[in-house]
Amino acid sequence: MSDVCQSCGACCASFRVSFYWAETDAHPLGSVPSHLTRKINETYVCMQGTEQVPVRCIALQGEVGQSVGCQIYDLRSSTCREFDAGSDICNQARQKIGLAPIVAD
């Protein structure tokens, strides 16, 4: 995780983190702890806390906009792995919590 992410966490407190259920440890090849997820339908689950308002992923530790970490970082879903720091959606989440956008060099 980049330093900028560890002082932000806006994505984990802004969006529903949904993904295919087989990414959970309920499947032999999955890694995301299933007890931290909620069923959306027969195909998808989401991280607890991201299906409600206010949004806050159950795996997020720390204070958003200050210092954060993911308690399951090495086991996180593809949704989290593929989220790009500095992307438009990242910067929208940062703006929502009052942080400046990440500008690509």
For every one of its 105 residues, what pLDDT tens digit does the chain have, with 9 covering 90 and above?
468 899 999 999 999 999 999 999 999 999 999 999 999 999 999 999 999 999 999 999 999 999 999 999 999 999 999 999 999 999 999 999 999 999 876
The dihedral over CA atoms of 48, 91, 68, 14, expressed in degrees to the nearest 10, equals: -20
d(CA 75, CA 64): 21
Q: Would you state the pLDDT for residue 41?
A: 98
Q: What is the SS3 string spanning 28-89?
A: CCCCECHHHEEECCCCEEEECCCCCCCCCCCCEEEECCCEEEECCHHHCCHHHHCCCCCCHH
What is the model's pLDDT at position 48?
98
Q: Is residue 104 part of a domain?
A: no
**Is residue 19, in this structure, part of any structural domain at all?**
yes
Q: Is 51 exposed, middle or buried (0-12, 13-18, 19+ CB in 10 A)?
A: middle
Range of the domain at 61: 3-96
Query: What does the block give as tokens for 102?
Result: 């990440």
Of 20, 18, 77, whose CA–CA distance to 43 is shortest?
20
Tell me whether residue 62 is in a domain: yes
pTM over 0.85: yes
Domain count, the chain: 1
Q: Please check whether residue 27 lies inside any domain of the structure.
A: yes
Distance CA 36, CA 59 (A): 8
